[in-house]
Amino acid sequence: MGSLKIENVKKAFGPVEVLKGIDLEVTDGEFVVFVGPSGCGKSTLLRVIAGLEDSTSGRVLIDGGDVSVTPPAKRGIAMVFQTYALYPHLTVKKNMGLGLKQANTPAAEIDRRIGVASSMLSLEPYLERRPAELSGGQRQRVAIGRAVVREPKLFLFDEPLSNLDAALRVNTRLEIAQLHRRLKATMIYVTHDQVEAMTLADKIVVLNAGRIEQIGGPMELYNSPANEFVAGFIGSPK
């Protein structure tokens, strides 16, 4: 389970309309990438999907349930941010387990899940370290691990590789792809990087100024961009 339906979602901050009517369906297990230039509304859309931000109008349904009326703990969503958002004073293990502890998950179950996630993400050697003792790539793997242990049906990634150098970006991208194959969860991934979009996505959603320009598979967009904007962003060289 992890289907998503976005119905005519609009979002304004004061007089400024940032999302101008977004309609989208994501099926269970799909890897969907939102791509578009800085400021086009990608993060805002992700935050509305997560229920961190109310839409001005329209609805977000996860497995048929309206996110805005579902308590956060019941939404089945985990989000990974560009800046990792780890607690500096806690060890890797405690960072990963904190959310589960707050949800009163039994200690043995927390340990089991941390074991599985840290093995998947090669984090076992670092469990007793603090974030300051890790590289940027390791920190981001911890942030991803913290999402994995919650066993969400929907993962939301907001430019998770943007703070990493080129080599680490490739490695971490491959790890996220592998995670998707293993967990078979639905993943929505925001980036402004065409290579990330082309290599990770089952389906790419091209956003521009708060609207969807085109939705399609990577090769579909590459070979048949709907307009100049999509062509410029993804499309084949002319």
Q: Which residue is nearest to Mg ion (CB)?
A: 43
Query: By C-beta, is 78 or 190 nearer to Mg ion?
Result: 190
Amino acid (1-letter code) at residue 199:
T
Shortest separation between residue 147's beta carbon and Mg ion, angstroms = 18
- C-alpha span between 17 and 222 (Å, rounded): 29
Residue whose tokens read 């007089």 = 15
Q: Is 95 in the site for ligand ADP (CB under 6 A)?
A: no
Rounded-to-integer distance, Cα 9 and Cα 23, Å = 7
For residue 124, how many C-alpha atoms fall within 13 Å in the half-sphere facing its CB? 6
Rounded Cα distance, 95 and 101, in Å: 10
| Residue 20 C-beta: closest distance to Mg ion, Å | 17
Per CB under 6 A, 83 contacts ligand ADP: no
Relative to beta strand 186-191, strand 31-35 is parallel
Considering the complex, what minimum distance in angstroms separates the CB of residue 44 from ligand ADP? 3
CB closer to ligand ADP out of 52 and 98? 52
Asked if residue 159 lies in contact with residue 190, where contact means CB atoms within 8 angstroms, the answer is yes
Name which position in 4, 6, 9, 44 contacts ligand ADP (CB under 6 A): 44
CB closer to ligand ADP out of 42 and 153: 42
44 binds, among ligand ADP, Mg ion, none (CB under 5 to 8 A by kind): ligand ADP
If the CB atoms of residues 43 and 138 are measured against ligand ADP, the closer one turns out to be 43
- Alpha helices, DSSP H, located in 7-91: 42-50
Q: Give the range of 31-39, 55-63, 135-143, 221-229 binding ligand ADP by CB under 6 A.
A: 31-39
The answer to whether 40 contacts ligand ADP (rule: CB under 6 A) is yes
Binding partner at 139 among Mg ion, ligand ADP, none, C-beta below 5 to 8 Å by kind? none
Q: Quick one: which segment of 40-48, 97-105, 127-135, 198-206 binds ligand ADP (CB under 6 A)?
A: 40-48
d(CA 168, CA 106): 34
Runs of H (alpha helix) within the chain: 42-50, 92-102, 107-120, 136-148, 166-183, 194-200, 218-223, 228-233
The answer to whether residue 86 forms part of the interface with ligand ADP (CB under 6 A) is: no
Compute the distance between CA of residue 179 and CA of residue 171 in angstroms, rounded to an integer.
Answer: 12
Distance CA 154, CA 29 (A): 9
Q: Closer CB to ligand ADP, residue 20 or residue 94? A: 20
Q: Among 55, 51, 52, which residue's Cα sits nearest to residue 13? A: 55
Q: Does residue 42 belong to the site contacting ligand ADP (CB under 6 A)?
A: yes
Provide the binding-site residues for ligand ADP, judged by CB under 6 A: 13, 18, 36, 38-44
